[in-house]
Amino acid sequence: MKHLLKISDLTVAEFEHLMTLTEKLKGETKAGKIHHLLSGKTLGMIFTKSSTRTRVSFEVGMQQLGGYPLFLSSADIQLGRGETIYDTANVLSRYLDGIMIRTFKQSDVDDLAKYGSIPIINGLTDDHHPCQALADLFTIYEHKGKLSGLKLAYIGDGNNVAHSLAEACAIAGMHFAVAAPEGYTCDAQIIEAASERARQTGGSVTVTHDPVEAISDADAVYTDTWVSMGQEQEKEARLKIFMPYQVNKALYAHAKPDAVFLHCLPAYRGFEMTEDIIDGPLSVVFDEAENRLHAQKAVLATLMG
């Protein structure tokens, strides 16, 4: 691994390494072990999209590994405001040991990796959310004891989270089913590539407009906000279109009785899911949120250690 730009870049061995290291680092953190894996290392954290979990988990993760996190908002740097990504990548490569960037265009992340000489981590783009998917699958592994052969159902908007989950499930040999309304499905090329990889690992990828079909016999159920950052002007229309895709008790009854519920947060109760689902006994959303910290530490230690 040189970078983490999207999940599909990972080999099966790299994915399994990250899962194993996440488990190890989480256990050691709980046991109070102090790490110096990234002592003397600095991570630049570029945010052109605001965040709660991404900023806090990366800052704390770097500190727990003995390194230093440097927050850089869009108001702090010249990226995209006159200075080319080529120049920014070259300059920051002279100062930093790694960059995490949370932004809009995937091409900006790819170009930082292309022109810089230090590891680049995708903290989120409009197309991919690889760190989230790593935390998600680790959470499922914690609660189910395995990944291969399990079914993950994603209900809602075919967005960046859905893309990365499709890619991660394909690597892990899982069965991924996504249900989204017409016009809001996942990117066809991403799904095609994930489907091909799933055929090699014993998994599968199913795309449907029927939430019951997607959730049937699922071991894990996932949803996300219907209105992502930058889509606020579409809110009223989206709420009407997506309401039939709400994860509620009636829909959840089609999943396995012990199917865990995941949501990457922030969550909007009464919309993409009901309160009795996200706050119920099958919900693992706060384990999932915590695991962002540990999964990202595994990425940081692997790339910058």
Q: CATH number of the domain that 258 lies in?
A: 3.40.50.1370
Please report the pLDDT score of residue 233 as a whole number.
83
Please report the pLDDT score of residue 288 as a whole number.
98
Check if the beta carbon of residue 80 is closer than 8 Å to that of residue 99.
no
Q: Are residues 92 and 188 in the same domain?
A: no
Q: How many CB atoms are closer than 10 A to CB 243? A: 12
Q: 291: closest CA among 159, 138, 172, 153?
A: 138
Determine, yes or no, domain membership for 106. yes
- Within 8 A by CB and 6+ apart from 137, the residues are 19, 147, 168, 169, 172, 174
Determine, yes or no, domain membership for 103. yes
Residues designated as active site: 102, 129, 132, 224, 264, 292
Check if the beta carbon of residue 175 is closer than 8 Å to that of residue 203.
yes
Angle, vertex CA 146, rays to CA 121 and CA 14, nearest 5 = 30
Q: Are residues 82 and 207 in the same domain?
A: no
Q: Are residues 121 and 231 in the same domain?
A: no
Please report the pLDDT score of residue 80 as a whole number.
62
Cross-strand bridge partners of residue 175: 151, 204
Per the structure, how many domains does the chain have? 2
Q: Are residues 247 and 277 in the same domain?
A: yes
Q: For residue 169, is it left (φ>0), alpha (ψ between -120 and 50) or beta? A: alpha
Provide the residue range defining the domain that includes 80.
7-129+291-304
Q: How many CB atoms are closer than 10 A to CB 24? A: 14
pLDDT of the chain along its 305 residues, tens only? 999 999 999 999 999 999 999 999 999 999 999 999 999 999 999 999 989 999 999 999 999 999 999 999 988 887 766 789 999 999 999 999 999 999 999 999 999 999 999 999 999 999 999 999 999 999 999 999 999 999 999 999 999 999 999 999 999 999 999 999 999 999 999 999 999 999 999 999 999 999 999 999 999 999 999 987 777 888 889 999 999 999 999 999 999 999 999 999 999 999 999 999 999 999 999 999 999 999 999 999 999 99
* Separation of alpha carbons 35 and 130, rounded Å: 24
Please report the pLDDT score of residue 100 as a whole number.
98
Determine, yes or no, domain membership for 26. yes
* Separation of alpha carbons 62 and 82, rounded Å: 30
Determine, yes or no, domain membership for 153. yes
Distance of CA 137 to the CA centre of its chain: 9
Q: Are residues 151 and 63 in the same domain?
A: no
Q: Are residues 162 and 197 in the same domain?
A: yes
DSSP one-letter code for 39: T
Run of H or E residues at 201 = helix 188-201
Determine, yes or no, domain membership for 117. yes
Determine, yes or no, domain membership for 270. yes
Determine, yes or no, domain membership for 2. no
Half-sphere exposure of 223 (CA within 13 A, CB side): 31
